[in-house]
């Protein structure tokens, strides 16, 4: 459905960033896995085709929580991953449906529609010419569908290799769309060994309007790196951490260990989850560092996003139901004498 010509033209990504923080929201893979619509392991967004209403509902929740960008759920919806689960033939319908579903909510809430590409698992810096061509073709087809479905921007994320990130940037720029390109810091450098501030600078030089980090690190271990990236580039910086309590000893969520030593990633991370207050604090800290595009990644849920929006001084549709503990029968301000039997503190 095309926008009618008399509709007010909505501000694009860069215009919005000039005015202040743009709030994003991701975490579709983990949240839809928790809800029983997506398999952990392959993590392919089959839900778009199999249960589109589940995807719609999560878009609705993120929009109501204050997300200004509706990210089409095409993460890992690329040729390599679709082949893995024997659904390569569904690649184009999945991508187009994901874009259309997201666009309906972007239009409804005045949000931006982002086409989404990510690390492919196909890139090999030791064989960069050949594998780079494969990656480029995968990105070109996904970005091509995003353009045809009316995307306002491209988010290229969880990049592990500078080489792959540069290809993503080139493809997004060739399509004429603003590009947000973010690395997932699983190590101290990209896998080729490039420092992240340098990698971000290179991607910015290649034309990305927004560069930064997403996934992998929680607020505590992402913030120091953001400071370095902010100092290294002139352009806007993006930060979409995972809402998990990563530490200097275990800086990424893949490394987090339960008390018995077992690996918590990816489906036993619950005890490490940040509260909404911790994510609200992150949003403020990132803003104060000069980060313009702030969001959340795997593990994020609408309550986090609403608290982040509110910490940034916003009232969003879901704020109507924001907590008011003063009305709680036991914890509130007007506790009846008879209620005191419920507690003894
Ligand atoms: Zn993530």
Task: pLDDT tens for the chain, 345 residues: list them.
Answer: 444 444 456 899 999 999 999 999 999 999 999 999 999 999 999 999 999 999 999 999 999 999 999 999 999 888 888 888 999 999 999 999 999 999 999 999 999 999 999 999 999 999 999 999 999 999 999 999 999 999 999 999 999 999 999 999 999 999 999 999 999 988 999 999 999 999 999 999 999 999 999 999 999 999 999 999 999 999 999 999 999 999 999 999 999 999 999 999 999 999 999 999 999 999 999 999 999 999 999 999 999 999 999 999 999 999 999 999 998 888 888 777 777 777 665
Q: What are phi and psi of 238, to 5 degrees?
A: -115, 145
* Among 119, 120, 198, 136, residue whose Cα is nearest residue 173: 136
Q: Where do the domains of the chain lie?
A: 13-342
Assess contact for 29 and 77: CB atoms under 8 A.
no
What is the end-to-end Cα distance of the chain in Å, rounded? Answer: 58
CA-to-CA separations, 90 to 77, 86, 228, 273, in angstroms, rounded: 9, 9, 41, 34
Provide the sign of the torsion angle of the four alpha carbons 288, 290, 293, 296, taken in this order: negative
For residue 23, report the distance from its CA to the centre of ligand 1, in Å.
Answer: 16
For residue 51, report the distance from its CA to the centre of ligand 1, in Å.
Answer: 21
pLDDT of residue 345: 56
For residue 269, report the distance from its CA to the centre of ligand 1, in Å.
Answer: 13
pLDDT of residue 334: 78
For residue 282, report the distance from its CA to the centre of ligand 1, in Å.
Answer: 16
pLDDT of residue 344: 63
Provide the sign of the torsion angle of the four alpha carbons 54, 175, 295, 125, taken in this order: positive
For residue 18, report the distance from its CA to the centre of ligand 1, in Å.
Answer: 26
Element (H, E) at 100: helix 91-109
Assess contact for 253 and 216: CB atoms under 8 A.
yes
pLDDT of residue 263: 97
Collect residues with CB below 5 Å from ion ligand 1.
215, 297-298
Q: Are strands 69-71 and 179-183 parallel, antiparallel or unpaired?
A: unpaired
For residue 153, report the distance from its CA to the centre of ligand 1, in Å.
Answer: 19
Provide the sign of the torsion angle of the four alpha carbons 315, 297, 253, 198, taken in this order: negative
For residue 216, report the distance from its CA to the centre of ligand 1, in Å.
Answer: 6
Sheet with strand 236-240: strands edge to edge: 22-23, 293-294, 236-240, 210-214, 179-183, 153-159, 112-118, 69-71
Assess contact for 222 and 289: CB atoms under 8 A.
no
Distance in angstroms (rounded) separating the CA atoms of residues 226 and 237: 8
For residue 298, report the distance from its CA to the centre of ligand 1, in Å.
Answer: 4
CATH of domain 13-342: 3.20.20.330
pLDDT of residue 8: 56
């Amino acid at each position: 459905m095309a926008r009618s010509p008399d509709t007010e033209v909505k501000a694009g990504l860069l215009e919005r960033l000039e005015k202040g923080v743009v709030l994003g929201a991701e975490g579709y893979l983990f949240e839809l896995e928790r809800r029983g619509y997506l398999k952990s392991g392959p993590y392919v967004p089959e839900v778009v085709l199999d249960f589109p209403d589940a995807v719609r509902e999560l878009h609705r929740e993120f929009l109501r929580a204050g997300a200004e960008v509706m990210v089409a759920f095409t993460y890992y919806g690329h040729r390599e991953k679709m082949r893995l689960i024997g659904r390569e033939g569904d690649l184009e319908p999945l991508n187009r449906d994901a874009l259309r579903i997201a666009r309906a909510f972007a239009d409804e809430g005045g949000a931006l529609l982002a086409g989404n590409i990510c690390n492919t698992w196909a890139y090999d810096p030791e064989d960069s010419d050949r594998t780079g061509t494969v990656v480029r073709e995968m990105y070109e087809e996904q970005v091509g569908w995003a353009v045809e479905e009316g995307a306002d921007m491209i988010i290229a994320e969880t990049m592990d290799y500078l080489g792959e990130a540069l290809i993503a940037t080139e493809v997004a720029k060739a399509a004429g769309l603003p590009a947000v390109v973010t690395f997932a810091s699983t190590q101290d450098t990209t896998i080729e060994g490039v420092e992240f501030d340098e990698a971000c600078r290179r991607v910015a030089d290649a034309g990305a309007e927004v560069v930064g980090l997403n996934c992998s690190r929680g607020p505590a271990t992402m913030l120091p790196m953001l400071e370095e990236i902010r100092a290294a580039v002139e352009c806007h910086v993006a930060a979409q951490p995972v809402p998990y309590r990563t530490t200097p000893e275990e800086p990424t969520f893949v490394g987090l260990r339960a008390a018995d030593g077992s690996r918590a990633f990816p489906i036993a991370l619950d005890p490490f989850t940040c509260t909404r207050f911790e994510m609200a604090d992150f949003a403020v800290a990132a803003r104060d560092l000069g980060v313009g595009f702030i969001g959340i990644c795997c593990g994020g849920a609408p309550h986090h996003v609403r608290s982040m929006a509110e910490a940034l001084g916003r009232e969003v549709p879901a704020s109507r139901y924001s907590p008011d503990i003063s009305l709680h029968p036991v914890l509130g301000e007007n506790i009846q004498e008879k209620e005191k039997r419920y507690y003894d503190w």
